Amino acid sequence: MLVLGISGGPELINENLYGLDEPYIGHDSASVLLENGKVIFGIEEERLNRIKHTNMFPAQSLHSCLKSHGIQLKDIDLIAYYFSKEWVELFMKKLFLAKAQVPTFLEPITLFQELLRQTLHSEVDPDKLCFVKHHYAHAMSTFILSGYENSLITTFDGLGEESSVVVFKGEGSKLEQITDFPESKSLGLFYDDVIPFLGYTFFDEYKVMGLAPYGESGRYRNLFKTFYTLLPNGDYVIHTDQIISLFDLGMPRRKGEPFTQVHKDIAASLQEALEDIAFHVIQYYRQETKQKNLCLAGGVAHNCTLNGKILRSGMFENVFVQPAAHDAGCALGAALYAYYKAKPMAPKPSKLEHVYWGTDIGSAPSVLSQLRQWQDFIAIEELMDVSGKTAELLANDYVVGWVQGRSEFGPRALGNRSILADPRPDENKVRINKMIKKREGYRPFAPSVLEEDVDDYFEVPPNQKQLPFMIFVVNVKEDKRNLLGAVTHVDGTARIQTVSRKTNERYWDLIHSFKKLTGVPVLLNTSFNNNVEPIVDSVEDAIVCFLTTELDYLVVGEYLIKKKEVSWRNYLSFKLSLPPYFSLHQDKKFNSDGNLSNFYYISNSYNFEFQIGVSAEVFSILTSVTSEETVENILQNNDKVEEVKAQEIVHELMELWSQRLILLRP
At residue 610 the predicted structure's pLDDT band, cuts being 50, 70 and 90, is: confident
Please provide residue 105's backbone torsions phi and psi, each rounded to the nearest 5 degrees.
-90, 130
* The predicted structure's pLDDT at residue 633: 87
Separation between Cα atoms, residue 421 and residue 555, nearest integer Å: 13
pLDDT higher than threshold 90 for residue 582:
no
Q: Is the pLDDT of residue 12 over 90?
A: no
**Least confident segment among 244-253, 358-367, 572-581:** 572-581
Q: Within its chain, how far is the Cα of 330 from the centroid?
A: 14
SS3 annotation, 355-388:
CCCCCECCCHHHHHHHHHCCCCCEEEEECCCHHH
**Rounded Cα–Cα distance for residues 283 and 649 (Å):** 61
Give 122's pLDDT tier (boundaries 50, 70, 90): very high
d(CA 516, CA 499): 16
Residue type present at position 350: S
Percent of the chain with pLDDT over 90: 80
Q: What angle do CA 219, 223, 229 make, to 5 degrees?
A: 130
Contacts of 94 (CB under 8 A, 6+ apart): none
The residue among 123, 265, 133, 241 whose CA lies nearest residue 193 is 241
For the beta sheet containing 493-495, the strands, ordered from the edge strand earlier in sequence to the opposite edge, are: 458-459, 473-476, 493-495
pLDDT higher than threshold 60 for residue 341: yes
- Partners of 32 in the beta sheet? 5, 42
Give dist(CA 206, CA 185) in Å, integer. Answer: 20
Which domains are present in the chain? 2-82+85-131 (3.30.420.40), 139-326 (3.30.420.40), 364-563 (3.90.870.20), 568-665 (3.90.930)
Residue 406 DSSP symbol: B
**pLDDT at site 15:** 64
Statement: residue 185 has pLDDT above 80: yes
Strand partners, 169: 152, 176
Q: How many CB atoms lie within 10 A of CB 110?
A: 13
Closest residue by Cα to residue 172 from 361, 381, 344 = 344
The percent of residues above 70 in pLDDT, for the chain, comes to 96
pLDDT at residue 14 tops 70: no
How remote is the C-alpha of 41 from its chain's centroid? Answer: 17
Q: Is the pLDDT of residue 155 over 70?
A: yes
The pLDDT-based confidence of 639 (bands split at 50, 70, 90) is low
Q: Which pLDDT does position 91 carry in this prediction?
A: 86
* Cα–Cα distance, 73 to 79 (Å, whole number): 9
Measured distance CA(637)–CA(616) in Å, rounded: 16
pLDDT band at 643 (very low <50, low <70, confident <90, very high): low
Bridge partner list, 268? none
* pLDDT (tens digit per residue) in 512-529: 999 999 999 999 999 999
Pairing of strands 417-421, 473-476: unpaired
**Residue 530 — pLDDT band, cuts 50, 70, 90?**
very high
Q: Distance (Å, rounded) from C-alpha 523 to C-alpha 483?
A: 12
How high is the pLDDT of residue 17? 65
Of the pLDDT bands very low, low, confident and very high (cuts 50, 70, 90), residue 580 is confident
pLDDT in tens, 589-606: 877 777 888 899 998 777
Whether 22 shows a pLDDT value over 80: the answer reads: no
Give the SS3 label for residue 40: strand
- Per-residue burial over 380-402, b if 16 or more Cβ lie within 10 Å, else e, is beeeeebbbbbbebbbeeebbbb
* Alpha-carbon gap, residue 168 to 39, rounded angstroms: 23
Q: What is the pLDDT of residue 595?
A: 80
Burial 208-223 (b: 16+ CB within 10 A, else e): bbbbbbbbebebbeeb
Contact between residue 39 and residue 32 where contact means Cβ atoms under 8 Å apart: yes
* Contact present, 40 and 356 (Cβ < 8 Å): no
Q: What is the mean pLDDT of residues 105-121?
A: 92
Element at 135 (helix H, strand E) = helix 134-143
Q: List, in sequence order, every residue forming a beta bridge with 130; answer none if it has no partner.
A: 80
Contacting residues for 482 by C-beta, under 8 A, at least 6 apart: none
Q: Is the CB of residue 449 less than 8 Å from the CB of residue 498?
A: yes
Region 433-448: mean pLDDT is: 86
Q: What is the pTM of this model?
A: 0.95
- Give residues with Cβ within 8 angstroms of 412, minimum separation 6: 323, 469, 470, 471, 497, 527
Q: How far apart are alpha carbons 457 and 467 in whole angstroms?
A: 14
Digit-coded pLDDT (tens) for 28-58: 999 999 999 999 999 999 999 999 999 899 9
Q: What pLDDT is attached to residue 590?
A: 77
Which string of DSSP letters, residue by residue, matches 485-497? TTT--TTSEEE-E
Contact 330, 137 (CB under 8 A): yes
pLDDT value at 16 more than 80: no
Looking at the predicted structure, is the pLDDT value of residue 254 above 90? yes
Mean pLDDT computed over every residue of the chain: 94
Q: What is the DSSP letter of 536?
A: P
How far apart are alpha carbons 519 and 514 in whole angstroms? 8
Residue range 184-202: mean pLDDT, rounded: 95
pLDDT of residue 21: 59
Question: Is pLDDT of 99 > 80?
Answer: no
Positive/negative CA dihedral, 33, 34, 35, 39:
positive
Q: Please, are residues 198 and 267 in contact by the beta-carbon 8 Å criterion? A: yes
Query: Max Cα separation, the chain?
Result: 77
Is residue 608 over pLDDT 80?
A: no
Residue 639 contacts by C-beta under 8 Å, 6 or more apart in sequence? none
